[in-house]
């Protein structure tokens, strides 16, 4: 019908104002001004629909004035990531997820850039318990909360995670357990070890999940602790 739509990535589905990023107040202003429809996506993001082409420059100014990130301004790995609320919101959670995933992605972004894989599309899903509310079991990389860690002051720490590998971007394939009881600060080094092999051994056009299944997740997990530590 000649109308436009705009996809707004929302990290872990959390619509809020935080320092220069004012998504909650920005969306409120947008809907009060334009009165358009919106759609929530299965990736916890939002689509603004029925945008008249004549509004385009005004909408671009709106994005800039509220500091709202567009798809072009965030990394590919962060765009395809998702986490459940976990601690402290969910009574079933044993570890962090929503509050822990951004830091993991910070580390992955740096390593993917170093490996020349920054544009590679694969899903990273993280949950605070095995119930899997963020769908970790069909992701290329699934991180599932396994056990809690209590700090010396009695507060819960990030804990340990089970890493699953071998799902697919479209979510139509279950993944396989890679390693269990992985401490939070070892998640990125473990993934970097596999990503390095992916870069060196992948077939042309092969996705990360397909590579993990072809090589065998059990074979990827057989790397020695020394190899993992050297990557970290």
Residue pair 86/96 in contact by the 8 Å Cβ criterion = yes
pLDDT of residue 226: 44
pLDDT of residue 71: 82
Q: What digits encode the pLDDT tens for the residues 83-133?
A: 999 998 999 999 999 999 999 999 999 999 999 999 999 999 999 999 999
**Pairing relationship of beta strands 124-127 and 81-83 according to DSSP bridges:** parallel
pLDDT of residue 8: 94
Question: Which residues lie closer than 8 Å to 27 by C-beta, 6 or more apart?
Answer: 8, 15, 46
Q: Nearest-CA neighbor of 101 among 11, 194, 41? A: 11
Cα gap 105→35, rounded to integer Å:
35
pLDDT of residue 70: 85
Question: Which residues lie closer than 8 Å to 50 by C-beta, 6 or more apart?
Answer: 3, 5, 36, 37
Q: Which residues of the chain have pLDDT under 50?
A: 224-232
pLDDT of residue 212: 97
pLDDT of residue 155: 63
């Amino acid at each position: 019908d000649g109308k436009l739509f705009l996809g707004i990535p929302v990290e872990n589905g959390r619509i809020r104002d935080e320092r220069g990023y004012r998504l909650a107040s920005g969306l409120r202003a947008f809907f009060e001004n334009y009165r358009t429809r919106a759609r929530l996506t299965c990736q916890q993001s939002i689509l603004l629909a029925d945008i008249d082409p004549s509004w385009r420059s005004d909408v671009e100014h709106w994005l800039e004035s509220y500091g709202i990130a567009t798809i072009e301004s965030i990394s590919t790995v962060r765009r395809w990531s998702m986490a459940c609320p976990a601690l402290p919101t969910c009574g079933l959670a044993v570890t962090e997820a929503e509050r822990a995933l951004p830091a993991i992605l910070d580390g992955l972004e740096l390593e993917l850039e170093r490996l020349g894989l920054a544009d590679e599309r694969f899903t990273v899903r993280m949950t605070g318990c095995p119930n899997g509310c963020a769908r970790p079991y069909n992701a290329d990389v699934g991180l599932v909360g396994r056990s809690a860690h209590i700090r010396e002051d009695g507060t819960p720490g990030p804990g340990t995670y089970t890493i699953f590998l071998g799902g697919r971007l479209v979510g139509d394939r279950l993944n396989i357990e890679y390693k269990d009881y992985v401490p939070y600060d070892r998640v990125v080094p473990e993934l970097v070890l596999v990503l390095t092999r992916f870069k060196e051994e992948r077939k042309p056009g092969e996705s990360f999940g397909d590579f993990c299944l072809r090589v065998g997740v059990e074979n990827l997990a057989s790397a020695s602790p020394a190899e993992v530590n050297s990557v970290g």
